[in-house]
Amino acid sequence: MRDNLAHAYLECARLQPLFWLLQNLLLRFWLHFSPHLFIFAHPVRGPTKSRDHVNLLLALAKVTIFNTRRRMLNEGVLCDCGAYFCSSLVSRIQAEFLWAASACSLDTFEEQWTLSGVLRSVSPSGFLVLHL
């Protein structure tokens, strides 16, 4: 089979764990995963925070596919797309949390990242709790 964009970003069997994870995460935002949503992202309407978080998830998924595919082609190493995606998402949220904590602006972090605890919450003791 000849490799093309549709195969690389939608049809390849190695992407199934990633798409399963995305499907579960998007259901928390009351969205169903589809190739159209994945390619074109969430339209600019509705709640901004929700849309921004969904589009972040979709962008990280695309970066995950690109990076794991490049590593597979260059180094011959097959990476778990789901694990790579989770690691990238956790790193992003933790970096935002640590920056907000160091800048004494956890309130801003709470305002930006709180969506009824869909992706994360902050415990009463001030620790970050991720919901993946």
Q: Could you tell me the sign of the dihedral formed by the alpha carbons of 10, 12, 16, 22, in that order?
A: negative
Banded model confidence at residue 120, pLDDT cuts 50, 70, 90: low
Which of the given ranges, 38-47, 71-80, 115-124, has the highest pLDDT on average?
A: 71-80
- Averaged pLDDT of the chain: 80
H-only helix segments in the chain = 5-6, 16-27, 35-40, 48-75, 81-102, 106-113
* CA–CA–CA angle 44, 12, 60 (5° rounding): 35
Q: What is the pLDDT at residue 81?
A: 92
Whether 85 contacts 20, CB under 8 Å: no
Contacts of 16 (CB under 8 A, 6+ apart): none
Write down the pTM of the prediction.
0.78
Q: Which of 89, 81, 75 is nearest to 120 (CA)?
A: 89
